[in-house]
Amino acid sequence: MGDETIATKLQALSLKHFGITPRACQNQAADLLQRRVIIEMETGEGKTLTVAMAAIAMAIKGKRVFVATANDYLAMRDAVAMRPMFEGCGLRVDALSSGIDQTLRRQIYACDVVYGTIRELGFDTLRDELADRVREKSSAPLMPKFHSLIIDEADSVLIDEALTPLVIHGHGHEISPEKASLYEWSAVQANRFRPDNDYVVHPLSHAIALTEEGITKAIHASMPISMNGFRMADILNSLENAIDVATRCLRDVHYLVKDSQVMLVDEHSGRIADAKKLSGGLHQAIEAKERLPLTRSGKTIARMTIQELVNRTPHLSGVTATAYEERRELGQVYGLAVNRLSPHVPTRRSLLSTKVFAHHHEKLLGILSETRELVDANRAVLIGTKTIEQSEILSDMMHEQRLSHVVLNARQSSEEASIIALAGQSKRVTVATNMAGRGTDIRIAQDVRVAGGLHVIVSEPHLTSRIDRQLAGRCGRQGDPGTVRYYYSPDDKILAGSFGDNQTNPLRRVLSDASLVREVKRAQDAIARRQREQRFQLAMIESQVVDDLGELGLNPHLDRLTIDD
């Protein structure tokens, strides 16, 4: 079937099943996605239909396609919604989600097009490699190879999560009473050690290393008799882990405690990182810090980065609303061009003047004041926060002022779809972490549209402007009206490098509002450059390890040195 015939059939199917004819920008994007490219499309421009048309066009030619979505819910939603189009072309489509057993996974992978998260694809790739070592020649792998990978929210996967390792642990062993005492002692001692004097932090890996003064302090510290069997090297390593989690792993920022368990939070999406645990004793160090039962330790038996995974697929493409800032890296690392498409309807999103406050608390009061004014005007308001902790502080203040609202963070992950579905209703206030920034459009009610649309408040600048732009893109969907306002204060975390943590720093008092806004931009640009350099260096190290193991005839995903926690 020729390309023109495929396009004509897809247009007819779209009109038949959804009552719409794909717009010119969707047809253009679907065509481009069959090449090695990232398409930047505005929120609400119909990425779901666009991706489905591209997947069908490739699958009809016998190329199996995996569509990577932001979460399980979106995978199921999109596969079900687009199924009539796939079946109308004689293709089978299905969706993966966590918790599905091997038998059903095998059936799903037999489809022409599969929707699921990149993590599910990666873990199943590793499971196949593990099984291949013991599989009989006649036994088929769990999944056949995919020719094409189309990634939704591509910048998140290919930039933010690129070097995130997908790790499979063995069953491990129970923590002995002696090992438990080591973790508990380390958690208590960690608070006595001071940066620079007692330990230093590696600028690239952020690993903690005790100085000579720190080692001396550890050696002379009182220890329980139960620790007598450990080598000093083991004790120092445990202490370094404890210092690491005490200084860098913050509760309600990097993890939350739920049902007496430590659950890691994905810093980019704001969602719980399902089934993910830190290795090398770090997870148990957090549990000891929180005085929780210590979970079973394990050994890494398979490991692969997301960057490795996507580079194994012959064809790679993706869509997102925010890729332009990272176009150079996407080109250098993946050979992907970034193509910006103009929206079907010109955006009516208005960027309001940034508001600057002297201190964080004053800024939150300003946010509450503006929110109340907009609620009284029948607007819908979405307030973006960087962390779970910040969303809940703001929520507490709203409760005190009797301002009705809902909170969306990793604690409410199961309610994400329903919360977002109502976020555009009149007088609705939603306080959310980055979870509200990706994957699902916010449709506004008619009375909200008349009143001026959804208003987005960026309560604190993120480390890169791209993340801020993701949040701002929640409003102004498909030509809807909408407004965005940024709120800054000198004690915002991103400015700590400029002014330090001392809130009495005179520079904080004399800096004009315009100068502070410029300083935020300068800091974001500097951080973005530093992160690119770190990703490049880490990718080089990872690539060297893979090459070295390959030269030794070893599997780079299965034969790395493993560590008992």
- Over residues 27-43, the pLDDT tens digits come to 999 999 999 999 999 88
Strand spans (E) along 52-112: 65-69, 93-95
Tell me 502's DSSP state.
-
pLDDT attached to residue 136: 54
Same domain, residue pair 363 and 477: yes
In this prediction, residue 436 has a pLDDT band, given cuts at 50, 70 and 90, of low
Same domain, residue pair 86 and 201: no
Each residue's pLDDT tens digit, 144-164 = 889 999 999 999 899 988 888
Each residue's pLDDT tens digit, 254-268 = 888 988 888 888 766
Same domain, residue pair 328 and 366: no
Same domain, residue pair 356 and 328: no
Poorest-confidence range of 111-115, 265-269, 513-517, 538-542? 265-269
pLDDT attached to residue 439: 62
Structural domain count of the chain:
3
Same domain, residue pair 160 and 19: yes
Asked if residue 329 has pLDDT above 60, the reply is yes
548: in domain: no
C-alpha distance from residue 111 to each of 73, 95, 149, 284 (Å):
19, 10, 14, 40
- Nearest alpha-carbon partner for 394 in 380, 408, 374, 373: 408
pLDDT attached to residue 435: 63
Same domain, residue pair 287 and 430: no
Same domain, residue pair 312 and 368: no
pLDDT attached to residue 210: 93
Tell me 158's DSSP state.
I
Average of per-residue pLDDT values in the chain: 87
In this prediction, residue 563 has a pLDDT band, given cuts at 50, 70 and 90, of very low
In this prediction, residue 1 has a pLDDT band, given cuts at 50, 70 and 90, of low
Q: How many CA atoms lie within 13 A of 266 on its CB side?
A: 21
**What is the pTM assigned to this prediction?**
0.83
Q: How large is the average pLDDT for residues 492-506?
A: 61
Each residue's pLDDT tens digit, 301-324 = 888 889 989 988 999 999 998 898
pLDDT attached to residue 154: 94
555: in domain: no
Same domain, residue pair 135 and 236: no
In this prediction, residue 170 has a pLDDT band, given cuts at 50, 70 and 90, of confident
Each residue's pLDDT tens digit, 334-358 = 999 999 998 888 889 999 999 999 9
- Final residue before a domain boundary, out of 504, 523, 542: 523
CATH of the domain at 64: 3.40.50.300
pLDDT attached to residue 172: 65
CATH of the domain at 187: 3.90.1440.10
323: in domain: yes
Each residue's pLDDT tens digit, 64-89 = 999 999 888 889 999 999 999 999 99
Q: How large is the average pLDDT for residues 533-549?
A: 79
- Whole domain around residue 118: which residue ranges? 3-166+305-340
**119-123 contacts at long range (C-beta below 8 A, 24 or more positions apart):** 119/166, 120/96, 121/66, 121/68, 121/96, 121/146, 121/149, 121/309, 122/166, 122/304, 122/306, 122/309, 123/166, 123/168
Return the higher-pLDDT residue of 564 and 174: 174
Same domain, residue pair 315 and 353: no
284: in domain: yes
In this prediction, residue 139 has a pLDDT band, given cuts at 50, 70 and 90, of low
In this prediction, residue 560 has a pLDDT band, given cuts at 50, 70 and 90, of low
Same domain, residue pair 277 and 335: no
pLDDT attached to residue 303: 85
395: in domain: yes
Q: How large is the average pLDDT for residues 279-306?
A: 86
Same domain, residue pair 63 and 149: yes
Question: What sign does the CA torsion over 416, 421, 422, 423 have?
Answer: positive
Same domain, residue pair 183 and 146: no
Each residue's pLDDT tens digit, 396-412 = 999 999 999 999 987 87
120: in domain: yes
- Nearest alpha-carbon partner for 421 in 437, 444, 391: 444
pLDDT attached to residue 143: 83
557: in domain: no
Asked if residue 376 has pLDDT above 80, the reply is yes
Each residue's pLDDT tens digit, 462-483 = 888 888 988 898 898 888 999 9
Give the separation between CA 143 and CA 313, rounded to whole angstroms: 14
Asked if residue 437 has pLDDT above 60, the reply is no
pLDDT attached to residue 564: 43
433: in domain: yes
